[in-house]
């Protein structure tokens, strides 16, 4: 028994502890229930009750507390019976004794104590509405809306916060917060909605609202007071299309979207919702007789009075005898005229006035249907200058639709500024009809509905000036002249005078008007640092005023130069530029950061053709001055020389043309030094010349100080020939840097000239051959030099016929026909004629000597021999002939082209062949071919080609293979042929070429490349060989820089490599497929690929034979 005693004690202790804990919980529950009953808390569906003071409880009568308790019991009964929630004020519900009469499902109230506490203010300034979004549907009599309101409460606030939601015109049928709970929402009779928030931070409320729609005679209207919010968004939808809509809060027309069914007013933070619209198909009451009204309403504003002039066209949809117009308050009709179908009608007028506006009634003698024109002029009515002037009250009452134009005219002394607009939009004056533009209104508006109004701020206009000044400072070493061009625009009001502020140094400036403005008086008022010039106009001027102000200022280096600017009147803007034009001998430097030293177009200082230096400055911050320094620059002389040297026997006649230029200071005289030994010196292009003590020095004088002077010096000189060459001396200008640019040399055909020293040929082309047979060569100097250094070589001294240059053109056709033209620069010695022989098969066509046809004489013994009469002077001879080849132009056939051969002792130094073939062929020179010449000349021939000197012997004809001489051309050849040019030397009278068919050689090269690829693939079955072959072909392509035979090799090799790759790659694939087919286990007959049938007496193959692969067929 003793062993169970501890267990009984432990069990009793646990039971006691649990009992005590249960009793404590029960006691706490009873205490909480009693405290809740004493405080009189509201049920869970209502918000917490605001505490009330003891003083207010003591002062209230007992009857009030009894009524409050009864009303609270009714509320509790409603909370238990209904689930949905609406909001009704306590004072409204306290009158309801029978809950069954209440049509709303459930209600929440606040006591009078809570209402008093709320009206004291609370914490209203710690909450802000950040977003207000309103969407809904517009019905016939009401608008069903949904408002989503976001409120931000300061986290530092303590206690409940009350927020004013306005919405006083709406009825709320449902409200929830972001958590789906019922917010504490209240509303006083005719007052705004208010919500009490007990939690800091952001809260969102959703309210379902019902707002009545006002049905006016001509339109519908919806008004709703919206709380101030940072973001407002309104989207309203109409079940039927809307004809027009306007926003009276923003005074403008609403844009309709979604097929004229959606209205989206754009509201500012403090704008209410006030819109009016008309639904398509709405019928207007029968008493509205006017269907449409269109016209022009003009308002004339002068000083403090306004006159209204209305010209309307009224289209009556039903017969009517009376119109009623709404006019501004206190205004009366002064003159009325009505015309129907162009006939004036006498009418009766009656004025009906009230407190708000006036009405003017017009009675017609007969009923009118259709269009009628009305002209009404209203008496002037005064307005207050301190208040905005509202125009647009004149309109027809009960009109179906009104549209028209409002024009505003003001006097020159007034300025009308446009304020708010209601139902109108401003349009440019240029969009008006021409008849209305002539009247020059200040403002124009267009309205599409009524009522429409415009608010203007009318005030006395002050003249404003927008001035631009362009100043030019002409600067020389002796004087400085400042000339300013003014262009001033006077707006808003005329001006009678103008003051121009000028630099102090501008004494007695000269003013020149450049427009209709005349200057009556100019007065100089010296001031500190500057002066003022006052211009008085004969009459007030408005518009553009232009004049020029010019004065000479002392030339003071380093002293700032100020811009003249207009002053004395209010300026809108004042801009200016300063252009400094300095003489060529003046060095100008600037030290001023207020101006930008750039030109608007070139962004750098300019240099005019006459040599003046020009800088353009634009002030960065208003008118300013610029400080400059200047000094004299030393004179710089330069000249360019072009010389012409003409051979006259053993002497040369020189014409040296100089282009002399002097910078910074003009020049009047110059000393010229001609070469020693010069004869017949003549200087042209100057005023006079004087010879000095030295025979070869001459002093030339110009007509006056000049900055540029071209002149020419002519003389004859016999140069000396040394081992270095022949040096022809040129004139020298003393103290002038002469830049020799170009020299032209004319020599006889028996001589060949080569430039040496600082001279080189002007172009790689052949020298020109003049009509007289003289060779003209041009040279260019690579560095300044005072002599022309050349080498003269005698070509042939004993020959009777000398041809330094010959050109032969051949045209080949596939059928074997050919035509040719040979041109010779020819000179005859000791013979009165020249003879030549045409090759066999050639037919003579014509001969021209110096561009004129000459008659040729043919030999009776040999038809190919032709003779032409010539004298000893150099001539240009051209022969034309035709022939037929021995065979047709084949694929690979050597062709020998022969030129006419001169008879007698003749020398042909250089021959250029030009051969033209068909477009599908090209010509090749037979490389390595050497053909002996038919003519011989003693001595060696020196020739330069592509920068390299090549010496050729006299008894050998060479074919030029240099790349620059191989030319492809499709413009020089007839019918799109291909032209190849060859160069030969030493009297070549024939040329052997090979005609190649391009497609044939492409096919041959393709096949060759294919065979090479297959052979390489057979020798080495790897892809590296093909890579090497591709690199080789690429190298061939780079080598084919010119379209010769290498082009065929390149194209053909590409096709060959491509076909080789296809064959080599496809061959292993085909072999594998075939082996796979041969090595398959069974074919369609159930056997292997081959039916191996063993005879009965044969034995199967042994293992050893199988391993070695040997097999013998008994058959």
Residue 208 is predicted with a pLDDT of 92
pLDDT > 80? residue 600: no
Distance in angstroms (rounded) separating the CA atoms of residues 227 and 147 = 11
Which of the listed ranges 245-254, 398-407, 730-739 does the model predict with the highest average pLDDT? 730-739
Annotated domain spans of the chain: 41-120, 121-283, 285-460, 469-632, 636-794, 802-933+952-988, 1001-1068
3-state helix, strand, coil in the chain (%, to 5): 15, 50, 35
The domain made up of 121-283 has a fold known as Immunoglobulin-like (2.60.40)
* pLDDT at residue 756 is higher than 80: yes
- Summarised one tens digit per residue, pLDDT across range 1032-1072 is 666 555 554 344 555 556 666 666 677 666 666 666 666 66
* pTM greater than 0.75 (yes/no): no
Return the higher-pLDDT residue of 537 and 300.
300
In the chain, % of residues over pLDDT 90: 4
pLDDT band at 986 (very low <50, low <70, confident <90, very high): very low
Report d(CA 912, CA 988) in Å as an integer: 9
What is the number of other CB atoms lying within 10 angstroms of the CB of residue 812? 23
> Token pair for residue 396?
């027809």
116-175 residue pLDDT tens: 444 444 444 578 898 999 999 998 889 999 999 999 988 877 778 888 888 888 988 889
- Mean pLDDT for the stretch of residues 963-991: 45
State the DSSP H helix or E strand holding residue 1063, giving kind and residue range, or none if neither.
Answer: helix 1045-1078
Strand partners, 201: 153
What is the mean pLDDT of the segment spanning 392-398?
A: 73
**Do 383 and 367 contact (CB within 8 A), yes or no?**
no
What average pLDDT does range 813-824 have in this prediction? 78
Q: What is the pLDDT of residue 398?
A: 67
Number of Cβ atoms within 10 Å of the Cβ of 580: 26
Which H/E stretch holds residue 1106? helix 1103-1108
Cα–Cα distance for residue pair 138/237, rounded to 1 Å: 6
Of 469, 500, 510, give the one whose Cα is nearest residue 486: 469
Which tokens go with 89?
A: 């004020």
CA distance 684 to 712: 5
The confidence score (pLDDT) of residue 369 equals 75
Task: Tell me the CA distances in angstroms from 921 to 813, 818, 1002, 1003, one per residue in order.
Answer: 10, 15, 12, 14
Cβ atoms 431, 454 nearer than 8 A:
no
Question: What angle, 0 to 180 degrees and rounded to 10, lies between the N-to-C axes of helices 998-1019 and 1045-1078?
Answer: 40
Alpha carbon distances (Å) from 615 to 423, 603, 605, 917, 962 = 56, 10, 5, 63, 55
Q: What is the DSSP string of 763-779?
A: -SSPPEE-TTS-EEEEE
- According to CATH, what is the number of the domain 469-632? 2.60.40
Report residue 938: phi and psi, to 5°: -70, 145
Token representation of residue 996: 């190649």
Using H for helix, E for strand and C for coil, what is the string for 727-763? EEECCEECCCEEEEEEEEEEECCCEEEEECCCEEECC
Separation in Å, CA 18 to CA 14, 26, 29, 891: 6, 13, 17, 127
CB count within 10 Å of CB 188 equals: 14
Q: Which of 221, 131, 203 is nearest to 161 (CA)?
A: 203
- The rounded radius of gyration (Å) of the Cα atoms in the chain is 58
The top-level CATH class assigned to 802-933+952-988 is mainly beta
Predicted confidence band at 889 (pLDDT cuts at 50, 70, 90)?
A: low
d(CA 614, CA 472): 10
Average pLDDT over residues 1068-1096: 51
State yes or no: pLDDT of 714 exceeds 90: yes
The first and second tokens of residue 1111, run together, are: 């097999």
Q: Is the pLDDT of residue 948 over 50?
A: no
**How far does CA 24 lie from the centroid of its chain?**
88
CB atoms within 10 A of CB 772: 12
Residue 876's pLDDT band (cuts 50, 70, 90):
confident
Question: Which residue would you say has higher pLDDT here, 746 or 69?
Answer: 746
For residue 176, pLDDT beyond 80: yes
- DSSP secondary structure letter of residue 13: H
Domains 469-632 and 802-933+952-988 share a fold: yes
1083 HSE (CA, 13 A, CB side): 10
**Which SS3 state, helix, strand or coil, does residue 789 take?**
strand
Domain 636-794 CATH (choose: 1.20.140.10, 1.20.120.450, 2.60.40.1730, 2.40.50.140): 2.60.40.1730
- Per-residue CA distances from 1091 to 429, 1082, 1086, 1098 (Å): 108, 10, 10, 16
What DSSP character marks residue 398? T
Assigned token pair, 958: 């060479």
**pLDDT exceeds cutoff 50 at 712:** yes
Helix (H) or strand (E) holding 15: helix 5-39
Longest CA–CA separation in the chain, Å: 178
d(CA 32, CA 134): 45
Q: How confident is the model at residue 109 (pLDDT cuts 50, 70, 90)?
A: very low
Query: Residue 1070's Cα: distance from chain center in Å?
Result: 61
- Predicted confidence at residue 663, as pLDDT, reads 77
Q: Say whether pLDDT at 383 is over 80.
A: no
Mean pLDDT, the chain, whole residue set = 69
Q: Is the bond into 451 cis (omega within 30 degrees of 0)? A: yes
Q: For the ranges 208-212, 363-367, 617-621, which has the lowest average pLDDT?
A: 617-621
Beta strands at 333-340 and 401-410: parallel, antiparallel or unpaired: unpaired
Tokens 């017609």 locate to 364
676 with 715: CB under 8 angstroms? no
Q: How far is CA 690 from CA 425, 683, 705, in A?
A: 87, 11, 18
Between 524 and 695, residue with greater pLDDT: 695
Nearest 5°: phi and psi at 527? -130, -175
pLDDT, tens digit (0-9, with 9 covering 90-100), for 439-483 = 788 889 888 776 678 888 887 766 677 777 788 888 777 778 888
- Are the beta carbons of 818 and 810 closer than 8 angstroms? yes
Both structure tokens of 204: 């969102």
Handedness of CA 279, 281, 284, 290 (dihedral sign): positive
Contact 777, 745 (CB under 8 A): yes
Judged against a pLDDT cut of 70, whether residue 351 lies above it is answered with yes
Across the beta sheet with 751-755, the strand order is 720-721, 726-729, 787-794, 751-755
User: Nearest CA to 600 among 612, 576, 618?
Assistant: 618
Beta-bridge partner residues of 560: 627
Average pLDDT over residues 579-599: 66
What CATH code is assigned to 285-460? 2.60.40
pLDDT of residue 564: 65
Mean pLDDT, range 965-979, rounded to an integer:
37
Would you call 553 exposed, middle or buried from its count of C-beta atoms within 10 A (0-12, 13-18, 19+)?
buried
Tokens standing for residue 261: 């069914």
Place 951 in a pLDDT band, splitting at 50, 70 and 90.
very low
Determine the Cα–Cα distance for residues 547 and 718; give it in Å rounded to an integer. Answer: 68
């Amino acid at each position: 028994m003793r062993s169970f005693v501890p267990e009984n004690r432990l069990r009793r202790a646990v039971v006691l502890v649990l009992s005590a804990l249960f009793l404590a919980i029960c006691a706490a529950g009873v205490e909480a229930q009693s405290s809740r009953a004493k405080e009189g808390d509201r049920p869970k569906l209502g918000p917490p009750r605001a505490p009330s003071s003891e003083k207010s409880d003591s002062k209230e009568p007992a009857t009030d507390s009894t009524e409050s308790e009864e009303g609270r019991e009714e509320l509790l009964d409603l909370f238990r019976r209904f689930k949905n929630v609406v909001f009704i004020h306590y004072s409204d519900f306290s009158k309801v004794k029978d809950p069954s009469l209440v049509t709303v499902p459930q209600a929440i109230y606040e006591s009078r104590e809570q209402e008093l506490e709320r009206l004291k203010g609370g914490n209203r300034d710690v909450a802000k509405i950040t977003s207000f979004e309103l969407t809904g549907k517009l019905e016939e009599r009401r608008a069903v809306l949904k408002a989503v309101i976001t409120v931000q409460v300061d986290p530092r606030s303590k206690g409940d916060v009350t927020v004013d939601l306005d919405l006083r015109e709406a009825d709320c049928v449902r409200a929830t917060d972001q958590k789906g709970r019922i917010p504490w929402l209240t509303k006083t009779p005719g007052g705004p909605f208010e919500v009490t928030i007990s939690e800091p931070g952001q809260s969102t409320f959703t309210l379902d609202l019902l707002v009545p729609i006002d049905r006016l005679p001509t339109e519908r209207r919806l008004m709703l007071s919206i709380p101030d919010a940072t973001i407002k968004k309104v989207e309203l939808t109409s079940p039927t299309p809307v004809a027009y809509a306007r926003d009276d809060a923003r005074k403008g027309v609403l844009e309709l979207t979604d097929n004229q069914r959606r209205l989206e007013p754009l509201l500012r933070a403090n704008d209410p919702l006030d819109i009016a619209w008309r639904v398509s198909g709405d019928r207007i009451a029968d008493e509205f007789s006017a269907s449409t009204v269109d016209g022009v309403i003009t308002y004339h504003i002068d000083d403090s009075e306004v006159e209204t002039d209305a010209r309307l066209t009224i289209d009556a949809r039903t017969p009517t005898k009376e119109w009623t117009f709404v006019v501004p308050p206190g205004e009366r009709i002064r003159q009325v005229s009505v015309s129907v179908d162009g006939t004036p009608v006498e009418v009766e007028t009656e004025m009906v006035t009230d407190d708000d506006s006036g009405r003017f009634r017009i009675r017609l003698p007969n009923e009118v249907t259709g269009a009628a024109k009305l002209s009404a002029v209203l008496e002037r009515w005064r307005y207050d200058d301190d208040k905005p002037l509202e125009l647009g009250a004149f309109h027809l009452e009960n009109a179906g639709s009104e549209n028209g134009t409002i024009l505003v005219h003001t006097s020159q002394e007034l300025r009308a500024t446009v304020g708010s607009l209601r139902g109108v939009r401003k349009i440019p004056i240029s969009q008006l009809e021409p008849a209305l533009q002539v009247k020059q209104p200040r403002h124009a508006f267009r309205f599409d509905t009524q009522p429409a109004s415009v608010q203007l701020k009318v005030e006395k206009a002050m003249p404003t000036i927008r001035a631009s000044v362009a100043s030019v400072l002409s600067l020389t070493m002796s004087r400085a002249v400042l000339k300013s061009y003014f262009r001033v625009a006077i707006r808003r009001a005329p001006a009678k005078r103008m003051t121009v502020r000028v630099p102090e140094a501008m004494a007695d400036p000269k003013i020149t008007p450049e427009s209709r403005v005349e200057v009556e008086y100019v007065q100089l008022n010296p001031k500190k640092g500057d002066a003022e010039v006052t211009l008085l106009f004969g009459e007030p001027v408005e518009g553009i005023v232009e004049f020029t102000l010019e004065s000479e200022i002392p030339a003071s280096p380093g002293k700032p130069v100020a811009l003249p600017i207009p002053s004395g009147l209010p300026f809108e803007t004042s801009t200016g530029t300063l252009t400094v034009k300095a003489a060529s001998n003046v060095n100008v430097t600037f030290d001023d950061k207020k101006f930008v030293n750039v030109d608007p177009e070139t962004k750098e200082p300019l240099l005019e053709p006459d040599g003046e230096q020009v800088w353009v400055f634009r002030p960065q911050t208003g008118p300013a001055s610029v400080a400059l320094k200047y000094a004299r620059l030393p004179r710089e002389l330069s000249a360019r020389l072009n010389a012409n040297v003409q051979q006259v026997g053993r002497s040369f006649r020189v014409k040296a043309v100089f282009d002399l230029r002097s910078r910074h200071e003009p020049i009047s005289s110059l000393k010229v030094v001609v070469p020693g030994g010069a004869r017949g010196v003549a200087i042209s292009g100057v005023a006079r010349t004087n010879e000095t003590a030295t025979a070869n020095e001459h002093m030339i004088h110009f007509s006056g100080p000049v900055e540029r002077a071209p002149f020419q010096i002519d003389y004859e000189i016999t140069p000396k020939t040394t081992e270095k060459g022949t040096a022809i001396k040129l004139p020298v200008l003393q103290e002038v840097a002469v830049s020799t640019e170009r020299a032209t040399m004319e020599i006889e055909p028996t001589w060949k000239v080569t430039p040496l020293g600082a001279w080189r040929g002007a172009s790689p082309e052949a020298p020109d051959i003049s009509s007289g047979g003289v060779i003209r060569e041009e040279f260019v100097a690579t560095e300044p030099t005072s002599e022309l250094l050349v080498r003269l070589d005698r070509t042939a001294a004993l020959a009777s016929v000398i041809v330094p240059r010959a050109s032969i053109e051949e045209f080949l056709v596939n059928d074997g026909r050919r035509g040719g033209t040979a041109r010779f620069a020819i000179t005859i010695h000791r013979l009165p004629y020249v003879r030549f022989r045409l090759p066999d098969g050639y037919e003579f066509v014509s001969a021209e000597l110096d561009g004129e046809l000459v008659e040729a004489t043919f030999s009776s013994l040999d038809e190919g021999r032709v003779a032409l009469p010539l004298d000893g002077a150099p001539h240009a001879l051209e022969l034309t002939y035709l022939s037929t080849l021995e065979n047709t132009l084949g694929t690979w056939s050597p062709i020998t082209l022969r030129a006419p051969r001169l008879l007698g002792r003749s020398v042909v130094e250089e021959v250029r062949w030009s051969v033209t073939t068909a477009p599908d062929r090209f010509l090749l020179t037979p490389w390595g071919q050497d053909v002996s010449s038919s003519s011989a000349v003693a001595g060696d021939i020196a020739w330069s080609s592509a920068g390299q000197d090549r010496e050729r012997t006299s008894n050998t004809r060479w074919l030029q293979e240099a790349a620059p001489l191989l030319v492809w051309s499709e413009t020089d050849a007839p019918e799109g042929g291909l032209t190849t040019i060859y160069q030969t030397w030493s009297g070549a009278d024939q040329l052997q070429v090979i005609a190649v068919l391009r497609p044939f050689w492409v096919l041959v090269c393709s096949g060759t490349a294919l065979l090479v690829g297959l052979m390489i693939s057979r020798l080495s079955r790897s892809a590296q060989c093909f890579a090497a072959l591709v690199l080789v072909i690429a190298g061939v392509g780079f080598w084919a820089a010119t379209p010769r035979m290498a082009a065929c090799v390149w194209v053909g090799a590409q096709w060959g490599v491509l076909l080789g790759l296809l064959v080599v790659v496809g061959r292993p694939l085909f072999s594998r497929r075939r082996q796979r087919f041969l090595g398959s286990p069974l074919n369609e007959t159930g056997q292997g690929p081959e039916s191996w049938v063993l005879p009965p007496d044969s034995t199967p193959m042994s293992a050893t034979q199988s391993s070695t692969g040997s097999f013998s067929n008994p058959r």
